[in-house]
């Protein structure tokens, strides 16, 4: 198949290209090094304007509106999405569309963040006076503190880089990486200032694996009622085997007369007991069970079950107890798979 593709390229007159492996690796390392230095330089330059920007966005009574064009526009979209998902209501407005009606989406209560490496992007520079007349606050994130955009902003954030990582010095690379990192720093400083919690984050991410891990509680996945395997301490080995078999969890809880967890009897306990028991009809399960089993509360995150189960020695089922140690449910690893928590 590859030979046929090469033949077709030669037939079309396309030049044959061969990747120089060492050159490619050297260039890749150079790119990463340049971009890493650009971010490190940003860190060293952070000062009062960054704090002023965070305070302006924190006090915002409306929305944070993020705008940019070209590669800066892609970074601006990402910043708007990160802000919105971490507790700061935000959206992206394309600067060209703003001049043709979308300016009506922006109010005097809003804070506008404009991204432009040069600080001279026509669409943004032309938009800035209209935003100021409307009363919106303006934060400019540029690589030129003498630029038109920087001078018109209420707060200017310096995202200048020494050089682009592009070997031609043309494609925005280090500059967009720096802007992206500075945007993340803004969003996460705001997250912290707002006291944004894991629970808040979960409410913003109800879909997908992340949402399931943050929202699903043990009570949502545990087996309870008639599906919950349990026997009293006085039960025989034979009775415990019947209960384990009928409930299909590979174990049964052993409870005292008050319903508190006394132990757990598992498939492993059964195998270990076979050589020690003469008569399964008379041997008591409380003499063969594992005492002091691991338990979890019903209100804990289901994802916490995984941590407890994976802690050596690993287990595949976990008992759920209330504050008094009474049995209220049980979770098996398969239950977590079905809930797509794992």
Once rounded to an integer, what is the mean pLDDT over residues 244-266? 96
Once rounded to an integer, what is the mean pLDDT over residues 256-281? 92
According to the model, what pLDDT value does residue 280 have? 83
According to the model, what pLDDT value does residue 340 have? 83
According to the model, what pLDDT value does residue 200 have? 65
Once rounded to an integer, what is the mean pLDDT over residues 56-75? 96
Once rounded to an integer, what is the mean pLDDT over residues 161-178? 92
According to the model, what pLDDT value does residue 278 have? 86
Tell me the pLDDT tens digit for each residue of 114-147.
999 999 999 999 999 999 999 999 999 999 999 9
Q: Considering only CA atoms, which of 302, 294, 321 is closest in space to residue 228?
A: 321
Q: What percent of the chain has pLDDT over 70?
A: 91
Tell me the pLDDT tens digit for each residue of 317-328.
999 999 999 999
Sign of CA dihedral 292, 293, 296, 301: positive
- Alpha-carbon distance of 81 to 57, in angstroms, equals 15
According to the model, what pLDDT value does residue 342 have? 73
Q: Show the 3-state SS of the chain.
A: CHHHHHHHHHHCCCCCCCCCHHHHHHHHHHHHHHHHHHHHHHHHHCCHHHHHHHHHHHCCCCCEEEEECCHHHHHHHHHHHHHHHCCCCEEECCHHHHCCCHHHHCCCCCEEEEEECCCCCHHHHHHHHHHHHHCCEEEEEECCCCCHHHHHCCEEEECCCCCCCCCCCCCCCHHHHHHHHHHHHHHHHHHHHHCCCHHHHHHHCCCHHHHHHHHCEHHHHCECHHHCCEEECCCEHHHHHHHHHHHCCCEEEEECCCCEEEEEEEHHHHHHHCCCCCCCCCCEHHHCCEECCCEECCCCEHHHHHHHHHCCCCCCEEEEECCCCEEEEEEEHHHHHHCCCC
Once rounded to an integer, what is the mean pLDDT over residues 203-225? 78
According to the model, what pLDDT value does residue 49 have? 97
According to the model, what pLDDT value does residue 276 have? 85
pTM: 0.66
According to the model, what pLDDT value does residue 42 have? 93
According to the model, what pLDDT value does residue 92 have? 97
According to the model, what pLDDT value does residue 266 have? 96
Model confidence at 198: pLDDT above 80: no
Once rounded to an integer, what is the mean pLDDT over residues 209-237? 89
Lowest-pLDDT range of 157-171, 195-209, 253-267, 288-302: 195-209
Mean pLDDT (the chain) is: 91
According to the model, what pLDDT value does residue 169 have? 83
Largest CA distance in the chain: 92
Q: What percent of the chain has pLDDT over 90?
A: 78
Model confidence at 4: pLDDT above 70: no
Pairing, β 137-142 against β 111-116: parallel
Model confidence at 204: pLDDT above 60: yes
Model confidence at 1: pLDDT above 80: no
Contacts for 76 with CB less than 8 Å, ≥ 6 apart = 66, 67, 68, 92, 113, 115
Once rounded to an integer, what is the mean pLDDT over residues 64-70? 96
- Alpha-carbon distance of 135 to 149, in angstroms, equals 16
The domains located in the chain, with CATH, are: 16-196 (3.40.50.10490), 218-338 (3.10.580.10)
């Amino acid at each position: 198949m590859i030979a046929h593709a090469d033949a077709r390229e030669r037939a079309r007159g396309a030049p044959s290209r061969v990747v120089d492996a060492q050159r490619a690796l050297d260039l890749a390392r150079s790119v990463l090094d340049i971009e890493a230095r650009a971010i490190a330089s940003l860190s060293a330059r952070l000062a009062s304007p960054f704090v002023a920007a965070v305070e302006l966005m924190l006090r915002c009574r409306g929305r944070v509106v993020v705008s940019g064009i070209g590669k800066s526009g892609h970074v601006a979209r990402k910043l708007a999405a990160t802000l919105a998902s971490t507790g700061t209501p935000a959206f992206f407005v394309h600067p060209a569309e703003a001049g043709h009606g979308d300016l009506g989406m922006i109010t005097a209560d809003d804070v506008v963040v404009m991204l432009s490496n040069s600080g001279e992007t026509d669409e943004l520079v032309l938009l800035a006076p209209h935003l100021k007349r409307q009363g919106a606050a303006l934060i400019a994130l540029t690589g030129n503190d003498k630029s038109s955009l920087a001078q018109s902003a209420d707060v200017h954030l310096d995202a200048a880089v020494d050089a682009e990582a592009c070997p031609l010095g043309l494609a925005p690379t280090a500059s967009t990486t720096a802007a992206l990192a500075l945007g993340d720093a803004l969003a996460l400083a705001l997250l912290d200032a707002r006291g944004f919690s894991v629970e808040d984050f979960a409410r913003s991410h109800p879909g997908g694996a992340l949402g399931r891990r943050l929202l699903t509680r043990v009570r949502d996945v545990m087996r309870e009622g008639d599906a919950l395997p349990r026997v009293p301490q006085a039960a025989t080995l034979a009775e415990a085997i019947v209960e384990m078999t009928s409930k299909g969890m590979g174990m049964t809880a052993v409870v005292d007369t008050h319903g508190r967890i006394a132990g757990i009897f598992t498939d492993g306990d059964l195998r270990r007991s076979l050589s020690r028991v003469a008569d399964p009809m008379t041997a008591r399960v409380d003499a063969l069970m594992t005492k002091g089993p691991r338990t979890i509360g019903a209100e804990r995150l289901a994802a916490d079950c995984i941590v407890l189960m994976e802690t050596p020695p690993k287990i595949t089922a976990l008992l759920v107890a209330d504050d008094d140690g009474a049995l209220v449910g049980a979770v098996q690893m398969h239950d977590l798979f079905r809930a797509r928590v794992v």
